[in-house]
């Protein structure tokens, strides 16, 4: 049972345009959501997060939107740059006594073309 799903295995975008990566979840106990970026042969690096008490969080070119009723979150990258080409994972935590455990989606490969 995949509790966090990224239904698009890949996304291709032109440099300067917007990249939108999507993520859906099924567990109503999730209350904190994170996006990670991963380059080949490296570990994932934290990008941006959002608590369930918010519906939007911005950090420079990166914005995460949360729609709790739809159990859906998205990551917007504006403008996209070739260096953004990587695998993006969304992750969710149930807080409370979950000890910070994260449940990850399958990942989306983003390619930004010059």
Partner 1 sequence: NAGVTQTPKFQVLKTGQSMTLQCAQDMNHNSMYWYRQDPGMGLRLIYYSASEGTTDKGEVPNGYNVSRLNKREFSLRLESAAPSQTSVYFCASRGTLNYEQYFGPGTRLTVT
Contacting residues toward partner 1, per CB under 8 A: 4, 6, 9, 32, 34, 36, 41-46, 49, 89, 91, 93, 95, 99-107
Least distance (Å) between residue 14 CB and partner 1: 26
Q: What angle do CA 35, 36, 37 make, to 5 degrees?
A: 130
Residue among 86 and 107 whose Cβ is closer to partner 1: 107
Q: Which stretches of the chain are assigned E, i.e. beta strand? A: 4-5, 10-14, 19-25, 32-38, 45-51, 56-59, 62-67, 72-77, 86-93, 103-104, 108-113
Least distance (Å) between residue 17 CB and partner 1: 26
Residue among 13 and 34 whose Cβ is closer to partner 1: 34
Least distance (Å) between residue 103 CB and partner 1: 8
Q: Three-state DSSP class for 43?
A: coil
């Amino acid at each position: 049972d995949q509790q966090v799903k990224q239904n698009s295995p890949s996304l291709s975008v032109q440099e300067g345009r917007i990249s939108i990566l999507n993520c859906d979840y099924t567990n109503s106990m999730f209350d904190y959501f994170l996006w990670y970026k991963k380059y080949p042969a490296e570990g994932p690096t934290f990008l941006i997060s959002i608590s369930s008490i918010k519906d939007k969080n911005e950090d420079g070119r990166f914005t995460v939107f949360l729609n709790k009723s739809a159990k859906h979150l998205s990551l917007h990258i504006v403008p996209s740059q070739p260096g953004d080409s990587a695998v993006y994972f969304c992750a969710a935590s149930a807080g409370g006594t979950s000890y910070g455990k994260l449940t990850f989606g399958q990942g989306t490969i983003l390619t930004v073309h010059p």
